[in-house]
Amino acid sequence: MILSTVLLLVPALLVQAESSEARSKWSPIQLSVENAIESTPPLIFKGSVPYRGVLLGAMLRIQQENSNFRFETRDDINYGPYLVSVNGVAGNDTAHTYWQLLRYPNMPLDRDVERVGCYIPGENEHIILRFTTWD
């Protein structure tokens, strides 16, 4: 009876230890800032996210560590924070400009996680913040 109880508990303990180890791991990411309207060279920043950490946290850490990266978000009561400006360049409804979030090389983020407060970057993922227009 004791042996069968131990055999049932061992897999659960291994899964718990594994997930605990994963939770303490930080993953490197790369963040590029591109201006498709002015065709300026991209700025590239290195950052990191904890296990299941969101892009917004990585961006805040990059901003704290690098004076060449500044950004602003605006909170939407239903959908959370969204990116409105990077390094003083803001989207504009009249000019039809905005900051697009992409995964390198050119893949838009899924519609349900396109906000900086929702998207969970993968290990070594390259995220692009691209200033562009819409039709």
Read off the CATH number of the domain in which 64 is found: 2.170.130.30
Rounded-to-integer distance, Cα 25 and Cα 9, Å = 25
Specify whether the CB–CB gap between 83 and 129 falls below 8 A.
yes
Containing structural domain, residue 38: 26-133
Q: How many CB atoms lie within 10 A of CB 81?
A: 16
Residue 17 falls inside a structural domain: no
Per the structure block, which two tokens stand in for 105?
Answer: 């090389």
Q: How many domains does the chain divide into?
A: 1
Residue 9 falls inside a structural domain: no
Predicted TM-score (pTM) of this structure: 0.79
Tens of pLDDT, residue by residue over 70-103, are 999 999 998 889 899 999 999 999 999 999 999 9
Residue 126 falls inside a structural domain: yes
Tens of pLDDT, residue by residue over 51-69, are 999 999 999 999 999 999 9
In order of 10, 27, 39, 85, 113, the CA distances from 135 in angstroms are 57, 36, 19, 20, 22
Strand partners, 96: none
